[in-house]
Structure 1
Amino acid sequence: MSLVRKFATVASGTMMSRLLGFAREMLMAAALGTGPVAGAFYAAFQFPNTFRRLFAEGAFNSAFVPLFAKEIEAHGVEGARRFSEEVFGVLFSILMVLTILMELAMPLLVRTIIAPGFASDPQKYELTVALATIMFPYLMCMSLAAMMAGMLNSLRRYFAAAIAPVFLNIILIVVLAHAWYTGADSLDVGYDMAWGVMAAGVVQLAIVWIAARRAGVSVGFRWPHMTPNVKRLLWLALPAAITGGITQINTLVGTAIASGQAKAVPALAQADRFYQLPLGVVGIAVAIVLLPELARALKAGDEKEAASLQNRSVEFVLFLTLPAAAALLVISEPIVRILYERGAFTADDTLLVSSILAIFGLGLPAFVLIKAFTPGYFAREDTKTPMVFAGLSVAINITIALTLFPHMGARGIAVASVIAGWTNALMLLAVLIRRGHWGQDRALTKRIPRLVLASGLMGGALYGAAIWLAPWLASSASLLSKISALAFLCLAGGFVYFALAFITGGADIGTIRRSIKRQNTASDIADI
């Protein structure tokens, strides 16, 4: 299976999840707007979601996958299954203790870490504590699910792990639709959604568990025992967890700071949903697929193949995310207005969220490049260097956010996140080059400036077209007119970008065709 096809397999599931996520956010915006219940829910959910990224996706897709792949190569599927059972016993025990401690300490955590700004509002504070207490066990389900997903990714079974997150959005959409049908008040909606998150965690764990069994790896519980392999995993997992969850760490920091201002927490979360679409579909898909492929190439001593994988991955992510960044920068307001502005979500909310979204658009290429650069370290079992860079990034983010927030509000937090993201991406690239782990690639260095040019010209065209279509995009226009105008902008922008990319040489149709057709013999053998 070619690299592009593997990206597409993961991206298809992620795309479905993100599109349903938009539907969920639209219903939430209509039901809750940027009011206090929305703020409490977003702040409460951000905490277990951040831990999920830190201890689940970050750790196991970065540390577990190379070790699991090594076990498959050395001892076959049966050896890998034994290793998985050893890890499962330790992971389950750690998660159980962590969940109990966090549940008991939740009031203190909300007051000091999650949303310290809510402490001055007793009702909002107590609601946040209650919702976070309900949702935190979601971490346990999703951490175990991430382990199963890591096993599936190592076996090149990508789809089940990619499709499982869809069910979080499906369940929450059903909850919101039921609330709308029954006329439930906002407080009941908040509680119902919290229980929906918990149910979604159980469903997602069941999906990947069943998929792993069908792939031939049935994991049973073993009493926790610190074997050499488990010790190696934990040694690699802590820095990998911090590195893999850097975007979520910065988001958690931003949420804590933003809790000091009304509407800032939900506004940041609603803007975050938009740029998470290209980040999830492209960046995460590349990171998931690239890591095991790089690990195999390096284990085989094929540095040329490893360099090619890295360069093609960067070319792929920039080809798709540069135009997305340009579009978010110039037409964020009509996008937010059409998708969110109804019910409790007002025109003032549109201006606030769209301005934050435009800023996030500037950082989108950096956020995606981080996902493409870090496998170059993790595949070599170097998780410390990216952790150091992640720590520096968080320090930069906190410093700038605290400086700008009093003057710019939520927009200042977005600016801090963008600057921290670009700093992290550039540090990762610089050290890869210095160590000789980033091969020279003339095609890549030639195409990047041309892709930037094509994206810039497309952005200019979109800006002019948005002015021309302003009467059809205005709040007073009919919903059909607004949707039609936005659809025209998206289609026309895509046509302009792809035409310019191929005309200028930023993209080459022959290379794409060869990438799609290219078969990896080892991959085909491992597709069981």
Structure 2
Amino acid sequence: MSLIKNVGTIGGLTMVSRVFGFVRDMLLSRLLGAGTGADAFFVAFKLPNIFRRLFAEGAFSAAFVPMFSKAYHGEGGREAALTFSRQVLSVFLPILFVFTALAEIFMPWIVYAMANEYQDVPGKFGLTVDLTRITFVYLLLISLVSLLAGILNSLSKFAAAAAAPILLNICLITAVLIFGSTEPDPEFVTARALAVAVSIAGVLQFLWLLWAVHRAGIDLRVSRPRLTPQVKRLLTIILPATFGAGIYQISQFVDIFFATRLEEGAMSFLNYADRLNQLPLGVIGIALGTAILPALSRLIGRDDQEGAKRLMGTALELSMLLTIPAAVALFICAEPLVAGIFMGGRFTAEDAAMTASVMAALSAGLPAYVLIKVFTPGYYARDDTKTPVYTALAALVANIVLILLLIERLEVVALPAAAASAAWLNCVLLYIGLHRSDRFRLPTVVAGRVVKQIAAAALMGALLWWLRGLLDGNFAAGILTRMWSIAALVGGGMALYFGTLFVIGGFDKAQLAKFKRPAA
């Protein structure tokens, strides 16, 4: 099975999830707008998700997947990997219970540390605390889901884990449709219903992945927690990996802290903009990062360093092939896309303009976010968690300094602008580390194709700028006019970009297709 097929499986299912996410946020924007209920829910939704991405999907996956994969493909085989996963579950579960219980108890102080300015708006702080207590149950459940997903990904069974987020969006859409117009205080009632739906989704995702793991022949059982040598090693890897794998999530904490001190609606602007930014990031970056880590672990376990370098080169070329045009399109078409998708109901033209500015700044960092997903497995597959810590620390410091320098002038736009700059710094430092250690060096032929991709994206950008002016006004019209206008932007841009690449040789389809992942 090729890397392309794995990325296609993960990316395709992620795309389905993102489409449901768009439907969800289109409904939310019209019912909640960018007001008190929306801000409170988005804080409550972000906090457990940041912890999930930071610890469960970030640090835990980065440490667990290589260890499970090496055990599974080592002398002990399937039985050794099964024993290891049971030991991890037995230790992981009580830690999660204790962490979640403490968070529920101290939630007012946690929310105060992040959003104490919400106390100035009647009812906003209390609503945020209540909603976060409800949604934080999701962290416990989705962390267990991450353990199950790590097992499946190590076995090269990517589909079930990639499909799990679809359940979350279905639950949220259902909550909006049922409770979205309830009176009185519709936005408060809707926000509470959404918080409950998040936790219900966690239960469904856990049951879905548990069934998938059982089908894969892995019988998990919980026993008395024991810190075996392997579990101790996992924990020692997780601690630094928590920071190294989570710069994007840590930046989200920083964004919440500053956004809650800005005008009402700042959290909502960030959320709606991030929804569009997450489409290429999830479909391309997360898919690549998920597929490349177990493959790299197997290659390095076999001491096939050249194969590992080829794998990373292929992943880089594929990621830039899709990410560069996405970044250009999101930057140039930010206003028509936001207006066409979200504007209406409580979400005004002014809200759309602010969200578009945030999205344009976010898109500038999109290639860097995806490259980080490509570069970090090059460290984690070799059990090197220290280097990403240092690069992440430098990027985090740069992020905070830039926010402090820019926030008075740019307000909410300063947050994504600083985050994008910090992501590029992190990306460059990660590559320098790989280059100096001879773990990966950008092949000349790949660099040449990336330059051609940039040229084709620039030509596409000129077309999009012209189309945007030609279709101006359509993005605030009826739903059908909005849809065909957005389709014209997307279709026209894609046709020109890929047509140009085909003519100038900006990608090597044969080389990408024939690249095979090592057999299990």
Instruction: Give the deviation of 1:183 after TM superposition.
Output: 5.7
Residues 294-346 of structure 1 show CA distances to partners (whole Å, capped at 9, x for unaligned) of 11001111111100000000000000010000001111111001110011000
Could you say what secondary structure the match of 1:97 adopts? helix
- On the 8 A contact 1:341/1:347 being kept in 2, the answer is yes
Query: Alignment partner of 2:17: what SS?
Result: helix
Q: Residue 233 in 1 paired to residue 234 in 2?
A: yes
Match of 2:212 in 1: 211
Q: Which residue of 2 aligns with 1:102?
A: 103
Matching of residues 186-335 of structure 1 within 5 Å? 186-261=187-262, 262-335=264-337
CA contact (8 A) 1:164 1:207 kept: yes
TM-score of the superposed pair, with normalisation by structure 1: 0.96
Instruction: Provide the C-alpha distance between the structure 1 equivalents of 2:305 and 2:77, rounded to a whole number of angstroms.
Output: 24
Equivalent pair of 1:30/1:343 in contact (CA under 8 Å):
yes
- What letter is aligned with 2:279? L
Who is 1:136 aligned against?
136
Gaps (5+ residues) in structure 1? none
The amino acid that maps onto 1:116 is: N
Separation (CA, whole Å) in 1 of partners of 2:88 and 2:191 = 35
Aligned with 2:385 (options 383, 386, 390): 383
User: Within the alignment, does 1:419 sit opposite 2:397 as a pair?
Assistant: no
2:153–2:290: 8 Å Cα contact kept in structure 1? yes
| 1:331-480 mapped onto 2 (5 Å cutoff) | 331-473=333-475, 475=476, 477-480=477-480
How many angstroms apart in 2 are the aligned matches of 1:401 and 1:269? 18
> Deviations 1:43-98 (Å, cap 9, x if unpaired)?
11111111101110012220000110111122111111111111001111111111
Alignment partner, residue 76 of structure 1: 77
User: What is residue 492 of structure 2 aligned with on the other side?
Assistant: 492
Q: Secondary structure at the match of 1:437?
A: coil
Q: Secondary structure at the match of 2:438?
A: coil
Q: Measure how far apart 1:482 and its partner are.
A: 2.0
- 1:493 Cα offset (Å): 0.4
CA distance in 2, matches of 1:55, 1:159: 22
Encode CA deviations 1:345-380: one digit per residue, 9 max, x unaligned. Answer: 000001000011011111100010000100000000
Distance 1:97 1:472 in 2: 53
Q: Any unmatched runs of 5+ in structure 2?
A: none
Structure 1 counterpart of 2:303, one-letter code: G
The amino acid across from 1:230 in the alignment is: V
> Equivalent residue of 1:165, what SS?
helix
How far the C-alpha of 1:510 sits from its partner, in A, is 2.8
Structure 2 CA distance, aligned partners of 1:120 and 1:343?
Answer: 26
Deviation of 1:412 (Å): 0.7
For 1:498 and 1:37, how far apart are their aligned partners in 2? 42
Distance (whole Å) between structure 1 residues aligned to residue 40 and residue 7 of structure 2: 36
Q: For the Cα contact (< 8 Å) 1:502–1:508, is it kept in 2? A: no
Partners of 2:318 and 2:163 lie apart in 1 by: 22
Change (3 A) 1:440 1:452: closer
Identity %: 39
Alpha-carbon distance, 1:181 to partner: 5.9
Higher mean Cα deviation, 347-356 or 431-440? 431-440
- How far residue 186 of structure 1 moved from its aligned partner, in angstroms, is 0.9
| Corresponding residue for residue 6 of structure 2 | 6
Call closer, same or farther: CA 1:101–1:471 in 2, change over 3 Å. Answer: closer
Task: For 2:171 and 2:179, locate their aligned partners in 1 and report how far apart those are by CA, in whole Å.
Answer: 12
Distance 2:49 2:38 in 1: 16
Q: Are the counterparts in 1 of residues 164 and 205 from structure 2 also a CA contact under 8 Å?
A: yes
d(CA) in 2 for partners of 1:449 and 1:240?
A: 32
Provide the alpha-carbon RMSD of the alignment: 1.3
Asked if structure 1 preserves the Cα contact closer than 8 Å seen for 2:2 and 2:513, the reply is no
Deviation at 1:469, TM superposition (A): 1.6
Q: Which residue of 2 aligns with 1:509?
A: 509
- Tell me the matched-pair count: 517
**SS at structure 1 position matched to 2:160:** helix
State the distance in 2 between where 1:472 and 1:141 align. Answer: 43
1:245 to partner: Cα distance: 2.3
Structure 1 partner of 2:51: 51
* CA distance in 2: counterparts of 1:287 and 1:37, whole angstroms: 34
Give the AA of the match of 1:38.
A
One-letter amino acid of the structure 2 residue matched with residue 501 of structure 1: L
Mean alpha-carbon deviation: is it higher for 179-188 or for 387-396?
179-188
Counterpart residue type for residue 166 of structure 1: I
- Aligned equivalents of 2:259 and 2:492: distance in 1? 36
Of 237-246 and 353-362, deviating more is: 237-246
CA distance in 2 between counterparts of 1:93 and 1:172 reads: 28
Letter in 1 for 2:235: L
The one-letter amino acid paired with 1:81 is: L
Structure 2 Cα separation of the partners of residues 223 and 512 of structure 1: 47
